[in-house]
A and B are shown apart, each in its own frame.
Chain A
Amino acid sequence: GAGVSQSPSNKVTEKGKDVELRCDPISGHTALYWYRQRLGQGLEFLIYFQGNSAPDKSGLPSDRFSAERTGESVSTLTIQRTQQEDSAVYLCASSPSGGPGELFFGEGSRLTVL
């Protein structure tokens, strides 16, 4: 597809379980971002990948959160031992090199931890 694709669109899990969220960026986009958006709140930066450079992990809230990206393609965000406060929409965005740095967002993965 032409846009950023995220899966699953919805995930309900029990507290303590691990979850994996996937992001497929727009082909050719070198930068990939993960954000978290709690209900009624703004976007909270989690992690940023740029090509083969070391990722900027400064926004990851705890060591339960990790993310990987294979080259300039798919990224996965993993949350271990989920807690209720992890409930949110997780948004992935990609951006081409050069240009204004516009982010193109996926539709998000809504995570509910019971």
Chain B
Amino acid sequence: QKEVEQNSGPLSVPEGAIASLNCTYSDRGSQSFFWYRQYSGKSPELIMFIYSNGDKEDGRFTAQLNKASQYVSLLIRDSQPSDSATYLCAVRGNQGAQKLVFGQGTRLTINP
């Protein structure tokens, strides 16, 4: 079982709709969770991080964490063509495991 799993997509969403990206992780002791965006040919850049169960909102982006289900998601409201990219979920384990493990990424396309 992979440590961090994502649906590779592609996920196609019409402009203005909500895009929903999902991620599951295997280490129940994981403490912090990150969403990165990677445009084609570019390096990943951080969108959001979340530590606690529940929702965290930042502009059009909402991260959701459910530690009991070992599940983290990213919602993008009012999707724009500029949101088209690969979205990478990353998970950091407990105190003794500081490495950040990435999922394979979900390719998102927003259709005008």
From residue 51 to 88 of chain B, which have CB atoms closer than 8 A to chain A?
A: 51, 88
Whether B34 lies near A43 (C-beta < 8 A) is no
Q: Which residues of A contact B90 (CB under 8 A)?
A: 43, 103
Identify B99's interface contact among A41, A58, A100, CB under 8 A. A58
Whether B99 lies near A103 (C-beta < 8 A) is no
* B: interface residue count bin: 20 to 34
Whether B104 lies near A41 (C-beta < 8 A) is yes
From residue 84 to 112 of chain B, which have CB atoms closer than 8 A to chain A?
A: 88, 90, 92, 98-105
Whether A31 lies near B43 (C-beta < 8 A) is no
Is B14 an interface residue when CB atoms closer than 8 A count as contact? Answer: no
Q: Which residues of A contact B42 (CB under 8 A)?
A: 107
Is A56 an interface residue when CB atoms closer than 8 A count as contact? Answer: yes
